[in-house]
Amino acid sequence: MAYLLIFLLFAALIGLGLLLLRLMMDRAIKAVIKTFREKGALDAENAKSGSELGLKTTSETRMIDGIFKTRDYKPYVFDSLLQVEIIRVTEDGRYYLSEQALQASNLAKYA
């Protein structure tokens, strides 16, 4: 009986952790999309650099930051949106949000 109680408590903690992760990722997705819209980086002509947007990829973040600060999920979201081409890169390395790609994706609810 005690093992069952421990198992249920452990399962509840894992579920709570996954729910919290989902909420933090949703918040980060909304924040990244909002940043592109506020900065007007919605096409190749108006594309902005990462520093202009205030966004970094995971390769640009320092591992030590995660130790001393709250985890920031925006670099992970930024990388993911780049990978699925919702965020696009110009030839000179600037970024913009493709609203059409966002609408056509399973992330359309964030549009």
Q: What is the pLDDT of residues 40-70, one digit of tens each?
A: 999 999 999 988 998 888 777 666 565 666 7
pLDDT of residue 72: 82
Tell me whether residue 11 is in a domain: no
Per the structure, how many domains does the chain have? 1
pLDDT of residue 92: 93
Tell me whether residue 63 is in a domain: yes
Tell me whether residue 80 is in a domain: yes
pLDDT under 50: residue ranges of the chain = none
Cut 0.85: pTM above it: no
Tell me whether residue 47 is in a domain: yes
Looking up residue 51, the CATH number of its domain turns out to be: 1.10.10
Instruction: Report the half-sphere exposure of 19 (CA within 13 A, side-chain side).
Output: 6
pLDDT of residue 108: 83
pLDDT of residue 83: 93
Q: Following DSSP, what letter does each residue of 17-52 receive, concatenated?
A: HHHHHHHHHHHHHHHHHHHHHHHT--SGGG-B-HHH
Q: Contact 110/97 with Cβ under 8 angstroms?
A: no
Tell me whether residue 29 is in a domain: yes
Tell me whether residue 79 is in a domain: yes
